[in-house]
Amino acid sequence: MRAEQVTDPLTDHGEGPVWSIRWGGLRWVDMLAGDVLSLDSDGRVIRRHVAAIAAAVRPRRQAGAVIGIERGFALEDADGVVTALDPVWSDPSIRMNEGACDPDGRFYCGSMAYDQRPGAATVHRLDPDRSVRPVLTGVTVSNGLDWSPDGALAYYNDTATHCIDVFDYDPVGGLTGRRRFVDLTTEDLRPDGLTVDAEGGVWVALSNGGAVRRYTPGGQLDGVLSLPARKVTACTFGGPALGQLFVTTSREGLGPGDDPLAGALFRADVGVAGQPVREFAG
C-alpha cells in the first residue's frame, strides 16, 4: 500500500474525512480553525468557516449536514445555512473532538479538555428529535468511532488510553459491553480516528505513528499504510466504489519547517472497499 499526496499541507489540524454522494465527494475539517473543507471533482479544495471549532461532520438524510461544534451541535440545511443548537455544556475548557452516526441515524460526538486532563470528557448523542444525552463519561480524548458492517459492534478510541475498544450495539441498549480490542500501550502508539471496511476490518490512524493500521475483526494486525507525515489523524473510504482510503494529517504544535507534509490530505488504494457513510436522521 502506497499513499499519494492529494493536497498541499493546508490544514493546521486536519481531521474527520467523510465521503458522501450527497456532497459529491469528500469533506473533512480543519478542526481548530472551525472550517469544513471539500474536495471538488477537479481536485480543488473549498474551505468554509462554520464555527469556532468544527469537530466532526456527517451528512443528513434530508440533505445538509450535522456538525459537532465547540460545545455541542449544529445543523446545516439544504441551502448550506448552518444553525447552532443550544450548547450542551458551558465549561469553556472542554470542546468537542470527533463523532459518527450509528446504524439508526443518531449522531455521537465525544469531547476532550483543551488541556487533556484525564476523565473530563463525555460522548454525547444527538437524536433525530434534537434531544441530547450522554452515553459515555469519564473519557479523556474521545476519538474514532465506527460500526461493523452488520451494525452489531462499535469500535471506539479514547486516544489517551493507547487502546482500541469495542462495544456491543443495539438500537435500544445503545453501546454496552465495552472491552479491549487492541492494546497499543507497549508500542506507545496513540489511536486517533478510525473507520471500518466492508469486510469488518478496522483501520486506525496513529496520531504519533505516521501510519494507518488495519486490524482484522479478530484484532490481528493485517496491514500498515505508512504516511510521510507523523501526525496521522483520521481515515475514511471514498472514491469509485469506495475503494480508496483518504487520510488526514495535522501539524498542530509543529514549528515552521517541521514535518513538511503535515497538514496534507493523502489517498491510497488499499485493496478493500469501505462502507457507505451512515447518515443523521434528523
Active site residues: 192
Cell of 158: 479514547
Q: Which amino acid is at 71?
A: R
